[in-house]
Amino acid sequence: MGCCLTSWFSKKQTALAISITEAEYVSTGKACQQALWMKQALIDYGIRIDDIPIMCDNKRAIDLSKNLVQHSRTKHIEIRHHFIRDNVQKGNISIEKVLSEYNIAEILTKPLKRELFNYLRLGLGMMEQID
């Protein structure tokens, strides 16, 4: 979108999340998979990217992706969702905090007031502001 390579899809999660943190962690893991796929596709065109930043607005999910220790609180999360931890540790991706009010993805997932909608739409680089 705009000047950025973007991958977006909407799909009902098949994993049952018992907390917002777990749901964000699973979603961030899916974003990691997409980012690594895009990274590999770009290599075919001679474009190499070292560290791919993934933006997340949930601090606990970010902490969980960086912490390699298995806690009793996270034992119920399926092993396949910890794929993101491996890639953070290898340096393939980095998880960065984005405040909710600056998270451009909010425009795709939530009803917004006009001002915030216009701000985020401008952030997409797709259109000019409508008054």
Give the C-alpha distances (Å, rounded to integers) separating 103 from 19, 37, 39, 113: 20, 22, 22, 14
Determine, yes or no, domain membership for 8: no
Mark whether 88 and 28 lie in a shared domain.
yes
Same-domain pairing of 91 and 131: no
pLDDT exceeds 70 at position 83? yes
Same domain, 45 and 56: yes
Domain membership flag for residue 107: yes
Same domain, 60 and 37: yes
Beta strands in the chain (DSSP E): 52-56, 93-97
Q: What pLDDT is stored for residue 9 in this prediction?
A: 64
Residues 64 and 82 in one domain: yes
Looking at the fold, whether 86 and 24 belong to one and the same domain comes out as yes
pLDDT given for residue 65 in this prediction: 82
First to last CA, the chain: 22
Q: 114 lies in a domain?
A: yes
Residue pair 128/122 in contact (Cβ under 8 Å)? The answer is yes
pLDDT level of residue 103 (50, 70, 90 thresholds) = confident
The total number of structural domains in the chain stands at: 2
Among 96, 120, 90, 94, which Cα is nearest to 108's?
Answer: 120
Task: Provide the sign of the torsion angle of the four alpha carbons 123, 99, 35, 108, taken in this order.
Answer: negative
Residue 129: what pLDDT? 57
Nearest C-alpha neighbor of 58 from the set 31, 93, 16, 28: 28
Full residue range of the structural domain in which residue 126 is found: 100-131
Within this chain, do residues 44 and 80 fall inside the same structural domain, yes or no?
Answer: yes
The string of DSSP letters for 92-130 reads: SEEEEE--GGG-TTHHHHS---HHHHHHHHHHHTS----
Mean pLDDT score, 6-22: 68
**Angstrom distance (rounded) from CA 1 to CA 92:** 23
109 and 77: one domain? no
Same domain? For 51 and 94 the reply is yes
Considering the domain architecture, whether residues 92 and 57 belong to the same structural domain is answered as: yes
